[in-house]
Amino acid sequence: MGKDFRAIFWKDIRMLVSGKFFLLAMGALALYTLYVNFGYVRLVELSMYKVCLWDPQGICVDGSLLLQRASSREELDRMLLEDPDGVGIDLSRGKAEFLLYRSTPQVERYLEDYARSLLRPQEDFKAEVLGAFTTEEKQRREITCELLFFELSAVGFLGIAAVLFREKGMGVLRVHACLPVRGRLFLLSKLAVFLLSDLCFAILLTLLNVGVGPGLAILPDVLVETVILSLFMALIGLCCALFLQDFRQFTMIYLVIAVFVATPVFLSANTSVKAGWILFHPFYHLYMGMKNAFFGTPGESFFYYAGAAVGIGLLYMLTAAAFSREMRDAPGGLRYAGKDVEKREEG
């Protein structure tokens, strides 16, 4: 069995090499690294929220130096119009009134607390800085996590489906049905090739963008999350390639997954947009698992790993059933072989 697996494995590697998959992955790695190191951390500034104060009675005498004082209510309004993400404090009536020009209910509370902490830094309302990362370190971890998640969920998924569609088109699945080899080796080999490729990608992306020292510290957790996400996506890709007729149908499904599945996850995890149902979205948990791994706070429960294992197991069973059906029916081969040969002979 080991010999059979090696044969299929090397054949799959050659398929990927000839399909320029590794070249594309290296290109993506280079592009992401350039973007993170020379674009994102240099050009994107995550400045603190501006807190503006109008205190005509001079009540606030020991406020933070971060407070920007306005000389009139009109000036306070003008300052907030210039930066609508900022917070305004009106002390003209002797009591703090908080002004928020643009916010959401979820963020409002945090902004108000932050502004209060600047107003009375000596008292209970003191802002606590979570974690010991510098802004750049946070940025690097955040963006590397997002890029890795995108690469694994969108690009790897596309890659594995493309390879299987190609084999389906060549009709070779039908040949494998008559070979003395277990069908599951064919699937396991593909999963192994893509998993190894994803693990190498994750290692390089993490070390190049988070830094070698901090990257090595979080690598074990990142790789665990990579294994889970890579297997999920590879199995979904295989399933799609086996159930769908052609690559055109697959591109439609791909769009559905990209737009309607991945978008709410990114929005919920990275912005103030929160939907209650997102907690039932498995990819939200996978994304948060990845994010926690990058920030060195892996706190996923037993249920998370058990759920992932069950999900992967079920997907594998579904893929294996679809693979058996495909070997039995193999409808794609006739079309490909015929058309391809006709084209060649016309040429």
Residue 178 structure tokens: 């008559």
Q: Examine residue 180 and tell whether it contacts other proteins (CB under 8 A).
A: yes
Residue 165 structure tokens: 């569609």
Q: Examine residue 23 and tell whether it contacts other proteins (CB under 8 A).
A: no
**Residue 95, by phi and psi: left (phi above 0), alpha (psi -120 to 50) or beta?**
beta
Kindly give, in sequence order, each residue whose CB lies less than 8 Å from that of residue 70, ignoring residues fewer than 6 positions away. 52, 53, 54, 76, 79
87-90/51-54 β-pairing: parallel
Closest approach, Cβ 324 to other proteins, in A, equals 9
Find the part of the chain contacting other proteins (CB under 8 A) among 59-67, 114-122, 188-196, 335-343. 335-343
| Out of 124, 181, 218, 245, the residue judged to bind other proteins by CB under 8 A | 181
From residue 117, give the alpha-carbon distance in Å to each of 111, 120, 214.
10, 5, 31
Closest approach, Cβ 230 to other proteins, in A, equals 24
From residue 114, give the alpha-carbon distance in Å to each of 108, 109, 110, 111, 272.
10, 9, 6, 5, 16
| Out of 15, 80, 147, 148, the residue judged to bind other proteins by CB under 8 A | 15
Q: Examine residue 317 and tell whether it contacts other proteins (CB under 8 A).
A: no
Distance between CA atoms of 66 and 51, rounded to whole angstroms? 7
Kindly give, in sequence order, each residue whose CB lies less than 8 Å from that of residue 172, ignoring residues fewer than 6 positions away. 333
The rounded Cα 32 to chain-centroid distance in angstroms is: 13
Q: Examine residue 178 and tell whether it contacts other proteins (CB under 8 A).
A: yes
Q: Examine residue 78 and tell whether it contacts other proteins (CB under 8 A).
A: no
Closest approach, Cβ 327 to other proteins, in A, equals 7
Q: Examine residue 48 and tell whether it contacts other proteins (CB under 8 A).
A: no
Q: Examine residue 172 and tell whether it contacts other proteins (CB under 8 A).
A: yes
- Whichever of 177 and 200 has its CB closer to other proteins, that residue is 177
Q: Examine residue 4 and tell whether it contacts other proteins (CB under 8 A).
A: yes
Q: Examine residue 339 and tell whether it contacts other proteins (CB under 8 A).
A: no
| Out of 242, 327, 331, 346, the residue judged to bind other proteins by CB under 8 A | 327
| Out of 81, 179, 212, 309, the residue judged to bind other proteins by CB under 8 A | 179
Q: Examine residue 337 and tell whether it contacts other proteins (CB under 8 A).
A: yes
Distance between CA atoms of 257 and 319, rounded to whole angstroms? 18
97-100/87-90 β-pairing: antiparallel
Q: Rule CB under 8 A: which residues touch other proteins?
A: 3-4, 7, 11, 14-15, 18-19, 167, 170-172, 174-175, 177-182, 327-328, 333-334, 337-338, 340-341, 344-345
